[in-house]
Each structure stands twice: as C-alpha cells, then as structure tokens.
C-alpha cells in the first residue's frame, strides 16, 4: 500500500502515518525527519538545507524532492507512507512524475479532515507543552489560512485522479486510526481484485460514528 498524507497542521499526520506504516509493514517517510537526518549527517543536501534554515528560508522544492528521490531509491518494500509532502500543487505533480518513473505512484491520497476550532485547540495545547510562546491563536490561524490557500487545492487534483480518500480525524486518535485502517483495507481489496477499474474519490468523513460501531 502506497499512501500520501494530506492534512492541515494539527490533524495528526505523524501519528496516523506511524499507525498505517506499522499495519501494512511499509516505511513511514516523514520529510521533516529526512531533512533533520541529512543536516545531522552533514551530507551535501544537508548543507544546503542548513543554509536555508540558517537564513530563515523555506527549503526549496527541488531539495526536498531530491531527498525523497534518494529515499525511494533505498526502499526495499513496494509500499510506503509519505508524510510532509506535497505541500503545493507543483510539489504534487513533481512527486507524481518521480513516482511514475519508478512505477510506484500512490494508491491513496488520505485526507484527514478536522475543523479549524479543533485544530487551533490541539496546536495551542501542543504549544503549551513545548513552551512555544510564539504559537498564539493568531499565528496558528494564519498557518491554517496558508494551508487552505496553498495546500488544500491539491485535494481537487487527487480527486480528479480518483485516489482521494477523506476521513473524519476529529475523533480520538485511536478511533481515527481504526477508521483509516478499515478504509485502506477496503481500498487494498479493490486494488487486488480489480486493479484496472477506474476509481473514484471516497469521502468517509461523515461516517465516523457508523465506522465506530462496525469496528
């Protein structure tokens, strides 16, 4: 199973990425971890990353994609869970081309849906624990506005491709994980039994309570 995670900050991508990867026995590839690893090892890419971070700049798309490309080249398993990219439509298209070269395009773009108020609550709680006084409600809401402007449009592209699966991620994390795995197991069965049948986007975000009763 090859899964892309698309969600706003605070939706639980990291938590659910680990759950999915463990269930399917595939690597959880978090771009933030890749960046930190390259910086810590002092690789040529890491030096590029350090320079951008030292200047307070975003790491360019080509650098992030190169790190993902190298990680893909090292994979022994067929599947993966990718967390942290894409963040823009340009990244999404470049990532698709990268994966297509290796015949490993995503089976699912998993969208974790959470209300803004709940995201703000989670991020404020996380900031209090980490001691980050700069993560105020105003700052968090600006980050969310940027997500909706830059990242959210990617969902339309994945919907057109028929690989978008949306789930309710506002519930407790263990319930969200169970619902995600239930949905992904259904997708896996479809892929195995009818791999060439055109697919459609699936929105399960309104079925949280029903899935909880079933699982």
pTM of the shown model: 0.88
- Quick: pLDDT tens for 101-150: 988 999 999 999 999 999 999 999 988 888 766 678 998 998 899 889 98
Location of structure tokens 């789930």: 167
Q: Where are the domains of the chain?
A: 2-27+78-214, 30-74
Catalytic positions, written as ranges: 13, 87, 126, 132, 143
Q: What b/e sequence results for 61-96 when a residue is b if at least 16 CB atoms lie within 10 Å of its CB, and e otherwise?
A: bebbbbbbbebbeeeeeebbbbbbbbbeeebbebbb
Q: What pLDDT sits at residue 113? A: 95
Q: What pLDDT sits at residue 3? A: 98
- Quick: pLDDT tens for 59-91: 888 888 999 999 999 988 789 999 989 988 999
Q: What pLDDT sits at residue 56? A: 62
Q: What pLDDT sits at residue 133? A: 67
Q: How many residues does the chain have?
A: 215
Where does 2-27+78-214 sit in CATH, by number? 3.40.50.300
Question: Is a pLDDT exceeding 70 seen at residue 209?
Answer: no
**For residues 176-204, average pLDDT:** 91
**Residue among 178, 183, 137, 135 at smallest CA distance from 15:** 178
Question: Is a pLDDT exceeding 90 seen at residue 4?
Answer: yes
**For residues 32-46, average pLDDT:** 89
Q: What pLDDT sits at residue 208? A: 55
């Amino acid at each position: 199973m090859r899964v892309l995670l698309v969600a706003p900050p605070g939706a639980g991508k990291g938590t659910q990425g680990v759950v999915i990867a463990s269930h399917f026995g595939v690597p959880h590839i978090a771009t933030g971890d890749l960046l930190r690893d390259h910086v810590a090892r002092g690789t040529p890419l890491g030096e590029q990353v350090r320079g951008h971070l030292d200047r307070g700049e975003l790491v360019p798309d080509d650098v992030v994609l190169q790190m993902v490309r190298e990680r893909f080249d090292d994979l022994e398993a067929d599947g993966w869970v990718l967390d942290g990219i894409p963040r823009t439509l340009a990244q999404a298209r470049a990532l698709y081309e990268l994966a297509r070269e290796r015949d490993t395009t995503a089976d699912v773009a998993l969208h974790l849906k959470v209300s803004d108020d709940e995201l703000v609550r989670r991020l404020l709680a996380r900031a209090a624990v980490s001691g980050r006084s700069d993560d105020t409600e105003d700052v968090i809401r600006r980050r969310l506005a940027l997500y909706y402007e830059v990242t959210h449009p990617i969902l339309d592209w994945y919907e057109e491709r028929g690989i978008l699966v949306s789930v309710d991620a506002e519930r407790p994390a263990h319930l969200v994980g169970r619902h995600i795995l239930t949905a992904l197991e259904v997708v896996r069965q479809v892929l195995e039994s009818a791999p060439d049948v055109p697919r459609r986007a699936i929105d399960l975000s309104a079925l949280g309570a029903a899935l909880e009763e079933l699982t």
